Chain A
Amino acid sequence: MKPNAVEQEFIKTYDQFADAIFRHCVFRVSDREKAKDIAQGSFVRLWDYMSQGKEIDNMRALLYRIANNLVIDEYRKKKVVSLDQMRDEEGFDIGFDSMHDIESRDEYEHAQALLERLPDKYREALVMRHIDGLSVKEISHLTHESENVISVRIHRAIEKLKALRN
């Protein structure tokens, strides 16, 4: 592929997946600014990969894998700070659209708070499945886990949320 064509392909990928990757990151790190950084970092790494002329079979899967790895890196250096604490002390914005009505927003924020309390491996599987809309097979491929393990994690994530809500 010619260099100019690679550039065009990259821009097209960005326009197509920017929101989806950002959304994934928001639900994984619960911080809009960090999510933006991770999303941008994901596209930077994608370009570094593409610019080397390497073939990419599944652009979406690669992008999610990069974003997932960056999120894991973020978890490793992240201080343990609760969502409520951040929201109260720093005016933290979890990335909700201002167009939404207040009731829905409260519900959503409540769900987000519960989600944040999930262990990361459950949260990862649940976000990928229900927020990003990836199939179990795709998640399995991205996380290098078997489909059974992913299915179990999704199921347990829902069970945990149920328990947390009660």
Chain B
Amino acid sequence: MEHIIKQLKKGAKHTRLSSAEKAEMKNALLRHVKTNPASGETFPVRAIPSPFFINNLRNKKSISVLVMAGLLMGGSASFAAENTMPGDILYPIKTNVNEVVRGVVALTPKAKAEWEVRLVERRLNEVERVEAKDDARQETKEAARTNLGKYTERVNKRIVKFEEDKDSEEAIVTAGKLADMLRTHERVLIKIDTQTTQENNVANLDAPKQTPKKLRVNRDDAEKKYKDLKQKYHKEDDEEDDGVESVSTSTVEASAIPAFVLPTTRPGDGVNHFEKRERKDR
């Protein structure tokens, strides 16, 4: 019996895989190993990195490119929007993005009031450009006028707020600036209107157009408001001071209100500073 066991053992020594079989099996196993890697480097995690994982070089690059593209495109659009008029595609960017962002920088009520007056000036410029354009559509003109009314109303509300906050000085200054602004642009608009009418050979040169007419109403309101405020608060000052000479009142008035908001009351050689500025513009 021992012989059989010996035979088996002897045979077992020669029972082995050939080199080719061994290599083939090893290759098959290595393929299995590669497709089923050990935990810690699971295949799906490496193959499909999360798009939300920022600490991934590829994602870092993508985010950088997106941010740069966004800044470039946003900056370009914002810059391009600055010269737009009502009816243009980029006009909403000008009013809803550019101006809002710049308005955020104005923190104090005074700065906000100054910015709002500046916005009225921007709307006035738009109205002038639209009116000067021969091929401007009626809807565009109407939109520009509506915008002007809307922004003028914002300034009026600001003035009311100043009054509520007992800040009479700022109320007067803001009202003066608004009246000044409207007056200046009213003249420009009348001039544009006259030129346009002459070019079109319209007979009735004196007939007032809608835009100057509307602007005149706004200007009248602003000037009335300004005068009312001046009278109201100066009267209060007089009552408070009670006995102070009129000379001192006029000094307060002059210091409280910047010179440029008092064009019509300033004595001179018949040419106020608005006219001077207009000449300068020319």
Using CB atoms and an 8 Å cutoff, list the residues of chain A in contact with chain B: 2-3, 6-7, 10-11, 14, 18-19, 22-23, 26-27, 36, 39-40, 43-44, 47-48, 50-53, 95-97, 99-100, 104-105, 107-112, 114-115, 130-131, 158, 161-162, 165
A43 touches B29 (CB 8 A): yes
Which label, helix, strand, loop or mixed, suits the secondary structure of the B interface? helix
Interface-centre pick from A43, A52, A99 (highest chain B CB count, 10 A): A43
Q: Please judge, given known A-B contacts A108-B7, A130-B8, whether A95 and B39 are in contact too, CB under 8 Å.
A: no
A97 touches B15 (CB 8 A): yes
Q: Which residues of B contact A39 (CB under 8 A)?
A: 17, 25
In the complex, the chain A residue whose C-beta lies closest to that of B22 is A18
B38 touches A3 (CB 8 A): yes
B36 touches A131 (CB 8 A): no
Q: Which residues of A contact B7 (CB under 8 A)?
A: 104, 107-108, 110-111
Query: A81 to nearest B CB, angstroms?
Result: 20
B5 touches A158 (CB 8 A): yes
Q: Please judge, given known A-B contacts A14-B26, A18-B25, A131-B8, whether A96 and B40 are in contact too, CB under 8 Å.
A: no
Q: Which residues of B contact A110 (CB under 8 A)?
A: 7
B38 touches A19 (CB 8 A): no
A50 contacts which of B15, B38, B40 (Cβ < 8 Å)? B38
B36 touches A47 (CB 8 A): yes
Q: Which residues of A contact B102 (CB under 8 A)?
A: none
Cα–Cα, bound, A162→B38 (Å): 49
Cα–Cα, bound, A130→B10 (Å): 11
Q: Please judge, given known A-B contacts A95-B15, A96-B11, whether A48 and B36 are in contact too, CB under 8 Å.
A: yes
A161 touches B4 (CB 8 A): yes
B1 contacts which of A2, A18, A40, A162 (Cβ < 8 Å)? A162
A40 touches B29 (CB 8 A): yes
Q: Is B166 engaged at the interface, CB distance under 8 Å to the other chain? A: no
Q: Which residues of A contact B30 (CB under 8 A)?
A: 11
Q: Is B12 engaged at the interface, CB distance under 8 Å to the other chain? A: yes
**16 A/B residue pairs, CB under 8 Å, sorted by A:** A2-B40, A3-B41, A11-B26, A14-B26, A22-B15, A23-B16, A36-B17, A36-B25, A44-B29, A95-B15, A96-B15, A100-B11, A104-B11, A107-B10, A131-B9, A158-B1
B8 touches A108 (CB 8 A): yes
- Size of the chain B interface, CB-CB below 8 angstroms: 28
Query: A100 to nearest B CB, angstroms?
Result: 5
B12 touches A131 (CB 8 A): yes
- As a 0/1 sequence over residues 13 to 39 of chain B, the CB contacts with chain A under 8 angstroms (1 = contact) are 011110001100110111011001111
Cα–Cα, bound, A86→B28 (Å): 28
Interface-centre pick from B12, B14, B22, B40 (highest chain A CB count, 10 A): B12
Q: Please judge, given known A-B contacts A3-B37, A165-B4, whether A40 and B25 are in contact too, CB under 8 Å.
A: yes
Q: Which 6 A-B pairs have CB atoms at the shortest separation, nearest pair first?
A: A108-B11, A97-B14, A3-B38, A51-B38, A111-B7, A19-B16
In the complex, the chain B residue whose C-beta lies closest to that of A163 is B1
Cα–Cα, bound, A2→B4 (Å): 47
Cα–Cα, bound, A2→B38 (Å): 9
Cα–Cα, bound, A45→B8 (Å): 28
Q: Which residues of A contact B37 (CB under 8 A)?
A: 3, 51
Cα–Cα, bound, A14→B26 (Å): 8
Query: A147 to nearest B CB, angstroms?
Result: 20
Query: B53 to nearest A CB, angstroms?
Result: 20
Q: Which residues of A contact B28 (CB under 8 A)?
A: 40
Query: B41 to nearest A CB, angstroms?
Result: 5
A7 touches B38 (CB 8 A): yes
Cα–Cα, bound, A52→B40 (Å): 9
Q: Which residues of B contact A108 (CB under 8 A)?
A: 7-8, 10-11, 14
A14 contacts which of B16, B29, B41 (Cβ < 8 Å)? B29
B38 touches A6 (CB 8 A): yes
